[in-house]
Each structure stands twice: as C-alpha cells, then as structure tokens.
Chain A
Amino acid sequence: AQSVTQLGSHVSVSEGALVLLRCNYSSSVPPYLFWYVQYPNQGLQLLLKYTSAATLVKGINGFEAEFKKSETSFHLTKPSAHMSDAAEYFCAVPSFTYGNKLVFGAGTILRVKS
C-alpha cells in the first residue's frame, strides 16, 4: 500500500534560517506527491504537488520540494523562514490501490523562533 513517512514530528528554526521538512515515500508509490500546510484550527492548504513533470517543484509562499527517486524522498525546503511559516505540514500521496483517497503522513510542526 502507498504510504509516506515524515521524519521529525517537530522542527524548530530561527527566522531567516533554512527550513527542511523530510518526507519519504514507499517504493510502490506512483509519481504523485503533495505537501499541505495547516494553520491552527484551519483546514489544509495545498503548498505544492509533484506529478512527474519536473523533479524540482515550486509552490506557494516560497516553498519548494525535490523528488529524488534514488532516495525515495520528497523533502520540503524554504531558504529563509518567516514567522508566518509556523504551522503543521503534511506530506501526502494518492492511493490507487484501495480506492480514491489521499494518504497522509503524521505531520511535522514547524516552529519559527525570532
């Protein structure tokens, strides 16, 4: 079954520092991957998506992610963190085996220190 694993339930960075949130996918995953962001008490907002067109994907708010098949990874990065980036981030993959649904990682809470 398709799955994603997010390493690190909490990540803390200083404002202006590099943000790196890790996501690894299972090898059976088809080449569709997503990153969502969730602000407190809100729903999910799509940050970016990989659909095999290009390995480096740029999203909203200055985030980008690189699909690396050799490492089965799709890590999310941002060169310079802003206070407004503090939120929870989810990596997700569509399931084609057991119905049409998105399968999410457990999430990573990003804290940005001033």
Chain B
Amino acid sequence: DTGVSQDPRHKITKRGQNVTFRCDPISEHNRLYWYRQTLGQGPEFLTYFQNEAQLEKSRLLSDRFSAERPKGSFSTLEIQRTEQGDSAMYLCASSSLAVGPWYEQYFGPGTRLTVT
C-alpha cells in the first residue's frame, strides 16, 4: 500500500494559463475526492468520483475547473484560465467502500498552486 500520491507537489503559473494536476489513489480504492485548502482555512470539498463516474460537484467548482477519472484509477483536475484566487493547496483523498465507510478517507500530500 503506497498511499495516495499527487503530482506535481508545487506549481507556479501565470494568470491565464491552464494547469493540470494528477492524483493516484490507493490501489483499488473506488472513491476519489478533491478538496481545496486556502491559507488559514480547512479543506473544502470540490468533487468526488465513484469508479469513473463523477457523482457530485461543489458550487466552488466553476466552469473553469474540470475533473476526470477516465478508467476509475487516477484522476486529473484541470483549471483553465487560472486566476490569482485559484492559489491554494489542492488535496486528493481516496476511500474504499469494500473495506470501510466512505468517510474514512486517506489524503495525499497535496499540490500547492501559486498563480502570479
């Protein structure tokens, strides 16, 4: 069990550029979550997948954000036309309905995005 991994760990981009983050969940975890954490705040839910299906999206997820999990394994989160307000830590978590309740989530190290 290698844990949840995220890539890259840090990303600096200029306003208006597109960025894409990747999350690899724990092997065979069928649920995958994305959260956003801004400075001084707790993580806030963005979206989650069960296998390849995206089941819920937060109102925080504007039209510039898109997430995919094409084969039910890794997931990508893309932000188009980045804005300074997108600067945050993006956290990925996974859980397995087969071995425990969905709320027992395991978090990755996060991707810290800085938009200049």
Contact = CB atoms under 8 A, between A and B. Distances in A.
A43 B109 CA distance: 4
Contacts of A45: 107
B28 interface: no
Contact of B110 (A42, A105, A106): A42
A94 B103 contact: yes
B93 to A, nearest CB: 8
Contact of B45 (A34, A46, A101, A106): A101
Given A43-B110, A45-B107, A99 B42 contact: no
Contacts of A36: 107
A43 B104 contact: no
A92 B43 CA distance: 10
A32 B103 CA distance: 9
Contacts, number: 66
Given A32-B103, A100-B56, A101-B33, A43 B44 contact: no
A95 B58 CA distance: 13
Interface of A, secondary structure class, is strand
A90 B43 contact: yes
Contact of B40 (A9, A32, A94, A103): A9
Contacts of A43: 4, 6, 91, 107-110
Interface in A82-114: 90, 92, 94-95, 99-107
A107 B48 contact: no
Contact of B103 (A41, A44, A102): A102
Interface string A62-86: 0000000000000000000000000
A43 B9 CA distance: 10
Given A90-B43, A100-B102, A106-B40, A41 B112 contact: yes
B91 A106 contact: no
6 contacts: A41-B110, A44-B43, A100-B31, A100-B48, A100-B56, A102-B103
The 5 closest A-B pairs by CB, nearest first: A104-B42, A94-B103, A101-B45, A43-B107, A44-B107
Interface of B: 4, 6, 9, 31, 33, 35, 40-45, 48, 55-56, 58, 91, 93, 101-110, 112
